[in-house]
Chain A
Amino acid sequence: QVQLQESGPGLVKPSETLSLTCTVSGGSISHYYWSWIRQPPGKALEWMGYVYYSGSTNYNPSLKSRLTISVDVSKNQFSLKLRSVTAADTAVYYCAREGDFYGSGWFQYWGRGTLVNVSS
């Protein structure tokens, strides 16, 4: 069974960079699309972007200027960096794997999520 686990600081200061890593176990990171999805407290889910195992990426246009998602196949991990954060970036951040090889946009496996607060 594929499992995903987010890790990273739970508190980030405004204007700094939010960095998270997702570690994949129970399966290879190869051949799939890997996404970050976030959820501000009490609000809806927001797709942030994906990285394909080859390293190609696609980002939500609303975040594209601040976001970098990368993959490390040797470690079975992928990562997120969100620059110049504000309080509006406070959210639970989920990593997720798409269900097929084609990037059809459905998310079969999810991490448990990690809450990141942006505050001084």
Chain B
Amino acid sequence: QSALTQPRSVSGSSGQSVTISCTGTNSDIGGYNYVSWYQQLPGEAPKLIIFDVNKRPSGVPDRFSGSKSGNTASLTISGLQADDEGDYYCCSFAGSHTHVVIGGGTKVTVL
């Protein structure tokens, strides 16, 4: 059982938007603005797409956006494309002792 809770799967048609939720506690998501999101395409290593809740690394399209409210973080993918299909993981800083907690992953399917 992962420390952060994500839906197992979400789906949407090409061009639509999907949002993935990530629920934690006051000790992780709710306590720090250090939420990150990773895209893992089939057979590949995870790739950072969002850090510090809503910042995008250079080269990541602005179709990917992040937000946070209380103990829940969200990743929205706008203008869904076929090559967005894969698994998405949320991660949060959780203090100096625990360091980080990671979600169970969400599979995104483009219909």
Residues of chain A having any CB pair with chain B under 8 Å: 37, 44-47, 50, 58, 61, 94, 99, 103-108, 110-113
Contacts and interface: CB of A to CB of B under 8 A. Distances in A.
Given A99-B51, A104-B93, A106-B52, A45 B34 contact: no
B57 A108 contact: yes
A50 B103 CA distance: 18
B38 A112 contact: no
Interface stretch (B18-26, B41-49, B68-76): B41-49
Nearest to B93: A105
15 contacts: A37-B102, A44-B104, A45-B38, A46-B102, A47-B101, A50-B99, A61-B98, A94-B45, A104-B51, A105-B91, A106-B52, A108-B57, A110-B45, A110-B48, A112-B45
A106 B91 CA distance: 7
A107 B45 contact: no
A111 B47 CA distance: 10
Contacts of B99: 47, 50, 58, 103, 105
Contacts of B51: 99, 104, 106, 108
A110 B104 CA distance: 19
B30 interface: no
Nearest to A61: B98
Contacts of B57: 108
Given A44-B105, A106-B36, A113 B45 contact: yes
Nearest to B92: A105
A107 B50 CA distance: 10
B49 to A, nearest CB: 11
Contact of B36 (A58, A94, A105, A110): A105
Contact of B94 (A94, A105, A108, A111): A105
B34 A104 contact: yes
A107 B94 contact: no
Given A44-B103, A47-B100, A47-B102, A107 B48 contact: yes
Contacts of B98: 61
For the complex of A and B, the 4 pairs showing the least CB-CB separation, nearest first, are A105-B93, A106-B36, A105-B100, A106-B51
